[in-house]
Structure 1
Amino acid sequence: MRIEDIKKDDDFKILCPALQADELRRLRENIIKDGEFREPVIVWRSEGILIDGHNRLSVWDNMTDEERQRIAPPAINAIEFKDREAVHNWIISNQLGRRNLDQKQKSYLVGKWYQAEKKEPHRPSKKKGDTVSPLMKTSEKIAEKTGQSSRQVKRDAQFTEAVEVLVSNIGPEVKAELLTDKKIGKARVVEIAALPADKQKAEYDRAMGRGEPSPGITFDPSEWGGMEPVADPVIPAGTVTEYHLKEMQAPWREFNRLMTAVKKVIEDLPEGTAGAWCDQNQMADIMGCYSNLRSTVNHRKPVAICGHCNGLKCDRCYQTGALNKDLSEALREGTEATGVLNAR
């Protein structure tokens, strides 16, 4: 088989994480420096489909004619498989043994492994009087091999299922983004997949910073709690309950999501074009300001129903019915101090 005849399959490729641009550049530089491809590409023999070595093949495809005259193409190691599922499982096992996976990619592969194992036939459950222990649960079996808890394996399977739901309802183009983009975490993916199918795309676009902004980005200042008094309370009528409190916390969830993205940008500054403007001390100052901002805003997050009015809205909670962390701690300290005085 010639290197030019190798076919690529998107379903297999997505299980093989692509290198970042700088990593792919270093791989190319090392190959050119060594004058050879040290590792072969792996191909499904009867189908001629690439199953491992996508990054190496990408380097070869983008070499100049002059470079190809000096460097031979990567060797081809052809392996036979009985069907696509067998190839699928081989890729998962092979990839989990590597170190260049980020957490979402690893979770997705563990989840695919869990799905594959669940399809396998199992022995009947243990009957009364049997002395042989029943089979380990699928999650426990995989947990033992991956070094994580069975609960984490189940969460990984839930994440994998959520990815597949979104791919089915939104389109195959989102799969790579779901597994590699830092803007959206695993828990958020699961949340969006649990929404009705007709609402998933809009919410997904919001999570990725596209389309209409999330309701948590623009909100009335009164929703922050612990700020200046406002004419209209957050809840037009009635008592603030735990349910309302969670609604009021929406801006902070959005704030933390955005601040996580900001932190990633800050951390990338020294390696990017802006790196020349920042030395180590300046970066420490920037991160210090970032931490202070995040801490300050989070202390204003409503965390408890107002203990002065029990959620009925009063001047001490600025007519919100809830207390932020600072005010909640002050109330607790005051209550404890009162209790000590009364005890005397």
Structure 2
Amino acid sequence: MRIEDIKIDDDFKTLCPELQSDELRRLRENIIKDGEFREPVIVWRSEGILIDGHNRLSVWGGMTDEERQRIAAPRIKLIDFDSRGAVHNWIISNQLGRRNLDQKQKSYLVGKWYQAEKKEPHRPANKKGDTLSPLMKTSEKIAEKTGQSPRQVNRDAQFTEAVDTLVSNIGPEVKAELLTDKKIGKARVVEIAALPADRQKAEYDRAMGKGEPSPGITFDPSEWGGMEPVADPVIPTGTVTEHHVKEMQAPWREFNRLMTAVKKVIEDLPEGTAGAWCDQNQMADIMGCYSNLRSTVNHRKPVAICGHCNGLKCDRCYQTGALNKDLSEALREGTEATGVLNAR
């Protein structure tokens, strides 16, 4: 079989994660440096369809005539299969065995495996090579083969369905981000895919830090702040104004932005490689500590001009000209009780 005769099947290609542009460039440089394609491309014999080696074939297709004279085309390895379903499962199993896959890419492939198994008609348990009970659920069968829990398999299937939904509604260009970008976790992908189709792109852009704040209940003001943080916020030399208070809040906005990212990582822990130790009680303790830390720090944020000195700085505001939430509430309560503002 000639390399030019190999066919590309779009359904099979989607199961093989594409390299990013810089990764593809490095692959090309390594092949040219080595003077050969070390690994063969693998083809379904009866159909002539490529099932592994899409990136290598892409590199070969982009080579110049001079480079092709020095470097031979990738070797072709032919494999027999009974059906498209068998090819589908072989590709997934082959990809899952690779160490360079992102956790979300692995979850997506497990979900694809789950979808394929659910579509297949019932097969007798005594089929050659099939040692699993026909009474086992699809998630249990796949869990047995992948070393995961059935619950995790079900979550992977949800994630896969969500990715496919967003790719269909937003566009194929988002798939690589959904499967590799750290800005968006699997739980967030599922949440966005559950929204009406006309809201998904805007919410996806917000999750990726590219959109505008949402007026809906999913909007967390701490993720967006209100004004850009100044380079080095300092206490002004003169009287403190509302503008100065906003400048003084910049470190807290940055803190909340980082803590939001930490929260997403914590929420994704049960679905990651360390998920085995993340039982409900432990996760509740972690989130409790997280909430206490965030609340403690935010209560120290300056929120108003000091009512004791009207921004001129005094010992009650620790010479900052502004009060944090606790001190501001204490001042307001004292004022309401006496009916007058404490003198400077």
Shorter chain as denominator, the TM-score bin is 0.5 to 0.7
1:304–1:324 CA contact under 8 A, matched in 2? yes
Structure 1 position 101, deviation (Å): 0.7
2:335–2:342 CA contact under 8 A, matched in 1? no
1:225–1:300 CA contact under 8 A, matched in 2? no
2:307–2:331 CA contact under 8 A, matched in 1? yes
Structure 1 position 84, deviation (Å): 3.5
Compared CA separation, residues 58 and 252, structure 1 to 2 (3 A): farther
Structure 1 position 199, deviation (Å): 1.7
Structure 1 position 144, deviation (Å): 2.5
Q: Report sequence identity in percent.
A: 92
Give the aligned partner of residue 287 of structure 1: 287
Structure 1 position 40, deviation (Å): 1.0
Residue deviations 1:299-321, cap 9 Å, x none?
A: 87999999999999999999999
Compared CA separation, residues 219 and 103, structure 1 to 2 (3 A): closer
Aligned partners of 1:149, 1:306: CA distance in 2, in Å? 56
1:342 is paired with a residue whose SS is coil
Structure 1 position 246, deviation (Å): 24
2:222–2:253 CA contact under 8 A, matched in 1? no
Q: Which moved more, 1:208-217 or 1:85-94?
A: 208-217
Aligned partners of 2:275, 2:144: CA distance in 1, in Å? 43
TM-score normalised by structure 1 residue count: 0.60
Compared CA separation, residues 333 and 30, structure 1 to 2 (3 A): farther
Q: Which moved more, 1:159-168 or 1:235-244?
A: 235-244
Structure 1 position 156, deviation (Å): 0.5
Residue deviations 1:129-164, cap 9 Å, x none?
A: 999987333222222222222211111111011112
Residue deviations 1:41-74, cap 9 Å, x none?
A: 1123344332210121122122232221111000
Compared CA separation, residues 259 and 211, structure 1 to 2 (3 A): same
1:226–1:324 CA contact under 8 A, matched in 2? no
Q: Which moved more, 1:184-193 or 1:250-259?
A: 250-259
Compared CA separation, residues 307 and 112, structure 1 to 2 (3 A): farther
Aligned partners of 1:274, 1:229: CA distance in 2, in Å? 35
**Larger RCO: 1 or 2 (CA < 8 Å, sep 6+):** 1
Compared CA separation, residues 13 and 277, structure 1 to 2 (3 A): closer
Structure 1: 5+ residue runs without aligned partners?
Answer: none
Residue deviations 1:188-219, cap 9 Å, x none?
A: 11001111222222212222333433459999
Aligned partners of 1:308, 1:133: CA distance in 2, in Å? 76
Structure 2: 5+ residue runs without aligned partners?
Answer: none
Q: Which moved more, 1:166-175 or 1:139-148?
A: 166-175
Residue deviations 1:162-199, cap 9 Å, x none?
A: 11222333334433332233332211110011112222
1:56 is paired with a residue whose SS is helix
2:341 is paired with a residue whose SS is helix
Structure 1 position 288, deviation (Å): 23
1:312–1:321 CA contact under 8 A, matched in 2? yes
2:189 is paired with a residue whose SS is helix
2:9–2:50 CA contact under 8 A, matched in 1? yes
Q: Which moved more, 1:279-288 or 1:214-223?
A: 279-288
Compared CA separation, residues 193 and 78, structure 1 to 2 (3 A): same
Aligned partners of 2:83, 2:3: CA distance in 1, in Å? 22
Structure 1 position 266, deviation (Å): 19
Q: Which moved more, 1:305-314 or 1:34-43?
A: 305-314
